[in-house]
A and B are shown apart, each in its own frame.
Chain A
């Protein structure tokens, strides 16, 4: 168990280092000379050389990369060229919005997906299964942001059931915050709900057909108990990996939904920065997103082996 965790941790560190190297080199590939940008277009070669030395651009690439790593690890993500403020401030104010949206979306997706998936497996060949497969096909085919546009038009503006835009911090008013976030969260979560549904249904069908469920039935448990406790608990394990793999979908969905619902999250920050060529912010957001991805997948993997003893054993044997 410990050995498995250690090797998984080492893998994650290597992945993070490689990702940071890719980002570092990618930023170097950007058009334009940072020293020229800092010193101004009319700077003479001598000033330019001084600025270059100040920024550390005269050092070998390896040194530059190590310095970049050092600054990043200590939380110094640079200064936004657009606002002149520290990038870390901008990220700290945007991150909670995106985090709330993604977590809420994930909760909605998992809840809807599990319940619908279990029902589809339990009532195989009857209308709940048919309904579930129509739902999952639709949720995987309909563009999320299009649904967002229509939801704003008909549910928020037309019916007035939800606010059309804006963000309220849950610290000031939890209920209003939820009211603002629930519609975008449902929309962001739809494709993930479909994936969870399909996975739950498939693993439930397998579980309902297995010996341990037959044993549970033989002990006289009601079918509901068998389905919702015995079989489902076994199927949940598989779901943990989906969460990690769905993160990319959730992030993309969150970014575009933030734009439609006017939420001041990471997606909005990134888009604003890309279009104003605010490279320090873009670089920092990319770093944060990739780091979050690696860390979350590491956590999922650890959780996975804690939940399922079979993996623990297999990991120890390997």
Chain B
């Protein structure tokens, strides 16, 4: 929620009465505000890639390989095949965000369902604990290898394996929160009035767990972004001609000793994206999660 607030205030920066809200947000948490602004810029760049990119990401200019940044027509230079690095980076960013969105959605939805069930129905708890144990035993790389072996490497496979890998993390947090809310007086009262479980979970437990889930999601986001880059770098994620910052790095590795810039650029963008998510995540945790926030 802070992200939305800071994002909104960041967008209002140029106009408005010298951005009173912006200044307030900056004073309260300057790092979080900077992170929020960065997230907005990078998400807009990724979503708007088809409009912003000067060329299609795969268009080659064989006559113009290894152009340096600020070349006319190629603001960030070109790679070994003369492909525009700015366009490839924008589309790669777009893929990172797609995978992040799918991955986080998978982990949050499945993790929340498992966590609610485990926390509410005590008899299910040991069963779900074993399920999450088994899921934890399969790191995302192993899951992705499985997906790649069964149906060939793909964006969807990478996103789902990354999402599945973080289901236990969400499930554990939601379970703890469910246990906490379940023991509160208002839930006891509602149960005494014979409220049904689904209504209770949706009406009382989930809203109370929402902020914890949001914090958990911001922790997972950068990990999914980095995970996609690793998988695509290894050839287990997005496949060419699809765009990925990981593929750009894998391409750039082949001519690393000739020019380092094509390898530097996607790494910087990945780091900025993750930094932005981490900054917003830290700010959100401070604000929404008083237990850890107080200790910081």
* A contact set with B: CB distance below 8 Å: 11, 14-15, 18-19, 22, 26, 29-31, 137-138, 140-147, 149-150, 152-153, 157, 202, 205-206, 247-249, 251-252, 255-256, 259-260, 270-271, 274-275, 277, 279, 282, 286, 289-290, 293-294, 297
A138 to B162, CA, bound (A): 22
Known A11-B130, A140-B274; 16 more pairs at CB < 8 Å: A15-B134, A26-B146, A31-B150, A141-B275, A141-B278, A143-B270, A145-B229, A145-B249, A146-B266, A153-B263, A205-B295, A251-B141, A252-B141, A255-B141, A279-B149, A293-B137
A247 to B222, CA, bound (A): 18
CB-based contact B133/A289 at 8 Å: no
Distance from A203 Cβ to chain B, minimum over Cβ atoms (Å): 8
Question: Which partner residue on chain B sits nearest A21 by CB separation?
Answer: B134
CB-based contact A150/B264 at 8 Å: yes
| B142 neighbours in A (Cβ, 8 Å) | 251, 286, 289-290
Interface residues of chain A: helix, strand, loop or mixed (majority):
helix
The 24 listed contacts between A and B (C-beta, < 8 Å) are A15-B133, A22-B138, A26-B146, A26-B150, A137-B275, A142-B267, A143-B271, A146-B266, A146-B267, A153-B260, A157-B257, A202-B296, A248-B140, A248-B141, A252-B139, A252-B230, A256-B233, A259-B234, A260-B253, A274-B145, A274-B148, A289-B142, A290-B138, A293-B139
State whether the Cβ of B97 lies closer than 8 Å to any Cβ in chain A. no
Q: Which of B123-138 contact A (CB under 8 A)?
A: 129-131, 133-134, 136-138
State whether the Cβ of B236 lies closer than 8 Å to any Cβ in chain A. yes
CB-based contact B150/A29 at 8 Å: yes
| B267 neighbours in A (Cβ, 8 Å) | 142-143, 146-147, 149-150
Distance from A77 Cβ to chain B, minimum over Cβ atoms (Å): 16
Interface residues of chain B: helix, strand, loop or mixed (majority):
helix
The verdict on A30 contacting B149 (CB below 8 Å), with A143-B226, A143-B229, A145-B249 known, is yes
A153 to B259, CA, bound (A): 10
| B279 neighbours in A (Cβ, 8 Å) | 137
A142 to B295, CA, bound (A): 26
A158 to B296, CA, bound (A): 40
The verdict on A153 contacting B137 (CB below 8 Å), with A140-B274, A145-B233, A259-B234 known, is no
Distance from A19 Cβ to chain B, minimum over Cβ atoms (Å): 5
| B156 neighbours in A (Cβ, 8 Å) | none
| A260 neighbours in B (Cβ, 8 Å) | 253
